[in-house]
Each structure stands twice: as C-alpha cells, then as structure tokens.
Structure 1
Amino acid sequence: MDLEDTGCLVKYLIRDRDGKYPALFDTILADAGIDVVLTGVRMPRMNAIMERWVRTCRCELLDRTLSLNQRHLLHALREYEAFYNEHRPHQGIADARPLAPLPEAITDPNRLAHLNIHRRDRLGGVLHEYEHAA
C-alpha cells in the first residue's frame, strides 16, 4: 500500500542527521512533495524524547479512542497534552508533574490511614485523574 492509496497527504518527514540517509533519499521525498525536517545538531536525545511522548500518547489515548474527524482528534490531543503536562506523574522527575510543583509529603499517620481520593474522568473516561479531596 502506498501513501497515495490511503488518501492522506504527507507534508513533512522529521528525521535525524544519520549518514544512512543519502541525498537521493531527500530528493525522492522532495519529488513527492514532502519536506524533510532535520532534528537539531548534536541533540541525540531529541528523537528519543519525542518518540517516548508519541508512544505514550498512542498507548494511553489513540489506541483507546475512535476519532470522528480532525477537529475531534485535535481536541483529544489538546486534552491529552494538558493531562500529560499538568496531572500525569512522570517517573523521571520524582513522580512529579512537569508544570506543577512537587506535592507536600504526607507524614501524619492519621491522615495516611484516612486518605480521601477523588477521581475525575477526562475525555469520556479514557483518562483518569486522581487527587486528594480537600
């Protein structure tokens, strides 16, 4: 199956600066109307970070959602981006959220024994947020 057979239009291809892509590769893509966008110079982790985000988005959102049209897909992606940056814990930064301060540690044994957790569903229940009730 070719890209033309799917009916979608590819505008860009993002790739790294590896030598395994000859100039002919870029020429063929340019003839097909696809612009090649190169990743940054001396940024070996740039691809890895974006691949991790795409994989997480796909597993947690796109594999569980049937998008009706482009507008619905963009809405779901905006909601997921907010969830990812504002609520979802990240193991690499001490289970904190990127756009929120670290939560205060709970040291009181009475408070630990009686945790009151509330769940809020996003995107019709595809994503779940859990918070301590005030």
Structure 2
Amino acid sequence: MSVENPLWGAPRIHGELLKLGFEVAQSSVAKYMVKRRGPPSQGWRTFLRNHAPDIAAMDLFVVPTLGFDLLYAFVIVRLDRRDLVWINVTANPTAKWVARQITEAFPWDEAPRYLIRDRDRIYGRVVTRRVRAMGIRDKPTAPASPWQNGFAERLIGSIRRECVDHIIVLGEAHLRRILKFYADYYSSVRTHRSLNKDAPVSRLVQRAGVIRSRAILGGLHHHYGRI
C-alpha cells in the first residue's frame, strides 16, 4: 500500500494505518517514507481542484479567414461548471481591448477570485491593473506550460474540432456570429463528461413527449428534446 500525500508526516500516516488495522511502529513508518526534496506544497492540479468555483481562465486563439486574414478569438471560461462566460473576436487585439472584454464578462459583484492566463505579451499593464481593480488575483502560468491553462486549452480545442475547422470564415462579423451560436450550444446543450454528462447550464431530464431535433450551426450539431 502506498500513501500519496505530501502534507502528511510519519505520525499522521501511522495513525491512518492503525485505523486500518495495521499494527506497525511509527519508527517503521518513518524509516520507509519517501524523503521529500523540498517543503510540502500543493501542486498546480491540487490548487485548481480546491479552488475551481473561484477560478476563471482566459486565452486567445487564431482563426484564418477565406482571404487569409488572421482573426483573434478571445474566450473566458469558469472552471467549476466549464461555463463559457465570454467569447469575442477582433482583428487587432490590444491590452485595452482585452481589459474591456474582462470588464464586460464579469459584473463587479460576480468576478472570480483568480484568473488564469498564459504569458502572452498582449496581457500588459492595462490588463493587470484592470484585473486588480476588480478584486481578481492574476495567475499567469509558468513559461512553456500550456497544461497549466488546460481548461481554456481544452475549450479552444473543442471550438476548433466542433466548429471552426468545419466552417469557412468570411470575416470578423461572420466569425463572431458563428462563435456566439457555438457558445450557446456549448453552455446550454452540449453534454460534458467532466459534468457527469450534463451541460454547464444544467439540462433537465425529459422522460415524456415526442423527441424532436433542432439543427444548430446549419446542422453541424443538433439539440434533441421532447415536446
């Protein structure tokens, strides 16, 4: 049996073993414990798991158009229910534009406690000052560590696989409209394995009525419901 908890010492582990019916000396537990190289600390995954209801994450990704122009889509997602709380598009991302998106995404009394982002230069002093003014603690990820912003990365992957990879983008207004449709589908219709096959905006189980389907994004996806 292995005990994996960096915050436990020999006395705590010994107590747990006694409660499991193992008669062993505390000195024996101490002898076979793996020696820590540094002070006990929670890992990044533990931090995310413990603070998920109070954390949001944001990121930008690039979408090419029919004319080979590059558009930038900006997303903000809350970690607890995977809520896609904001999505917008621009051809010229600036720190002021990003700061305005954050303000519009969160009413002043509903802002998260932490906001995860990567170290893109677009997040300049304007963004960090705006976040601080809203009472949000800025949490940049470590360099070259996209997995630390995994929720936003996973969301962007879903948007690509389920939406923009199948659509020819004509321009900024067209992409914004398409992403708004997908955001509604993602939040209210699409089921998520991490939410026990529920949607971020919880869907009621329908047991009576005739099943009908409604096409979403021109039939790229469907919403099945009973009437």
Could you say which TM-score interval applies, normalised by the shorter chain?
A: 0.5 to 0.7
Alignment of 1:80-119 (within 5 A): 80-103=182-205, 116-119=210-213
Q: 1:7 to 1:96 in 2, by over 3 A?
A: closer
Query: Based on CA coordinates, which of the two structures has the bigger radius of gyration?
Result: 2
Residues 117 and 130 in structure 1, CA contact (< 8 A), matched pair in contact too: yes
Aligned position for 2:118: 15
Q: 1:7 to 1:91 in 2, by over 3 A?
A: closer
- The alpha carbon displacement at 1:41 in A equals 2.6
Aligned position for 1:41: 139
Unaligned 5+ segments in structure 2 are 1-67, 71-91, 96-116, 129-136
Identity between Structure 1 and Structure 2 (%): 25
2: CA distance, partners of 1:7 / 1:70: 10
Aligned position for 1:121: 215
2: CA distance, partners of 1:82 / 1:88: 9
Unaligned 5+ segments in structure 1 are 1-5, 17-25
2: CA distance, partners of 1:55 / 1:72: 20
- The alpha carbon displacement at 1:35 in A equals 4.7
1: CA distance, partners of 2:191 / 2:200: 8
Determine helix, strand or coil for the equivalent of 2:149: helix
Determine helix, strand or coil for the equivalent of 1:41: strand
User: What are the superposed Cα offsets for residues 46-83 of structure 1, whole Å, 9 maximum, x if unpaired?
Assistant: 61100000000000000011111110100000010010
Q: 1:92 to 1:71 in 2, by over 3 A?
A: same
Of Structure 1 and Structure 2, which has the larger fraction of its residues in helix?
Answer: 1
Q: How many residues of Structure 1 are paired with residues of Structure 2 in the alignment?
A: 105
Aligned position for 2:108: none
Runs of 4+ with deviation above 4 angstroms: 6-10, 34-39, 42-46
- Normalised by the length of structure 1, the TM-score is 0.61
User: Among 52, 77, 81, which residue is 2:154 paired with?
Assistant: 52
Amino acid at match of 1:95: K
Of Structure 1 and Structure 2, which has the larger fraction of its residues in strand?
Answer: 2
Determine helix, strand or coil for the equivalent of 1:97: coil
Residues 122 and 128 in structure 1, CA contact (< 8 A), matched pair in contact too: yes
Residues 96 and 103 in structure 1, CA contact (< 8 A), matched pair in contact too: no
User: Among 177, 193, 198, which residue is 1:75 paired with?
Assistant: 177
